[in-house]
Structure 1
Amino acid sequence: MTESGLPTSEHLEHLDTDTIADLIENLLPATEAHSAREHVKACPECQQTYDALVQLSEDLAEEGREDIPMPADVAEHLDAVLVSESVLRASTVGVHSLAQIREEPRRHLPKLLGAAAGVVLIAAIGVGVVFATKDQANEGAANTDQSTPPTDAVTITTGNLAQQTQKWLEHTPNAILHGSAAEQSCAKTFATSRANATVRLVQPAKIDGRRATIIGLQGGSAREIQIFAVTGCDQPGGVASSFYDTSVTLRNR
């Protein structure tokens, strides 16, 4: 304990790597994500794990830009590591082979990242590896360009709001300001009541079947963005009323 009575980092109960990986992938509920993010800020050990996972995710994404074949001996080595209980704790994670990752990448990738942080799996192999998945191909076919939001209202649900806004914001260094002048003005007025009034995103949308506006505000760090779904901004002189909020962590800042 410090003289102020606050716990020092060695007295904090550290987050497991699975939770930190889920935080990075924006898979945690909003309340749990906020608590986890605050813990990481206060805990140097967890911050180090967080940074390592972010870097690993970026490295994997960079490797995935080109179609690099996976050598047979590398695939066999990865399969051997993945079945090791000491690496992935298969009984709880449920990943037993590369085939599962290829078939269900979004389900298993956060767990794989968490395990890889402990054994530095990719660095030890020392070769470029691509996880080419049917999921990514199907997603690309269903959505022509998810990295750029349309200027008109986008149809979305609260279930995938965090993931989609993260994609938009990671693909541009500039603010994304769509909608009418009235909608943008409403969003900026809404921002003035928040801790950080820097507007990063204004996007007209139809969320869970109702007309709304997605507002993104700069969070406590360059990577953190506070996301709000509000009604009322689509009308001239309207006042924003938030009905859903979450936060996302950008991986390329």
Structure 2
Amino acid sequence: MGVLRNELETYLAKLLNAEQFKDYCPNGLQVEGQMQIERIVTGVTASQGLIEAAIAHNAQAILVHHGYFWKGESPIIKGIKRNRISTLLQHDINLFAYHLPLDVHETLGNNVLLAKDMGWQIDGELAGTVGLQGQLAEPTSAGELKTKLAEKLDFNVLHIGDETRQVKRLAWCTGGAPDYLQQAVDAGVDAFISGEINERTAHLAQESGVHYFAAGHHATERYGVRALGEHVASTFDIDVQFVDLPVPV
């Protein structure tokens, strides 16, 4: 039972086409731990809380969507970053992280799985972005769409727009991506769904008439890493546990 670290690293890189992405962070093994892996904890973000959960589960690896070493951040290892990395090293735990590869994967990606969960038809990519566009099975009010999103994601969804207006055509991108709203406007959709919104895109939504649904960065990105963990568990016959540590944004 179990898988070697290098074997898992190679398998995930191929499965997710990780090398083809110019990302904001390194994709793959970010912190090296022990060679033999028998238990993995998955989660959205490699927070201290997730690391502690992995220790409690006696896991040899953590697999996340949001890891470390982001472009533009200080390279100095101190404070919270030091505590996290130190804890991983002390317990000999591997950290694997996949960002954009886990957003856009055709079967395990956040965008595809959000659409599947919501029952949206996918028509193709949203031009110039890593998002998608498509449509509802039948038109519904913006208020009804907000309610369904809130129920599916267990999140207090923020909506910009008239809740009584009908929605049919959609564009979406999980996580942040508020600035993809302009591409959604250009695509002529009725609504755009993402995890977060910012001040300037709130104005754009109001002035363009395109509904904006901010459905939670964490909430919309549970899908991919959980599905990837389930795939790894079945492929290698090992123990993989998803740990959900929600945040209110």
- Where on the TM-score scale, by shorter chain, does this alignment land: which range? under 0.3
Q: Which is higher, the Rg of structure 1 or of structure 2?
A: 1
Is the helix fraction higher in 1 or 2?
Answer: 1
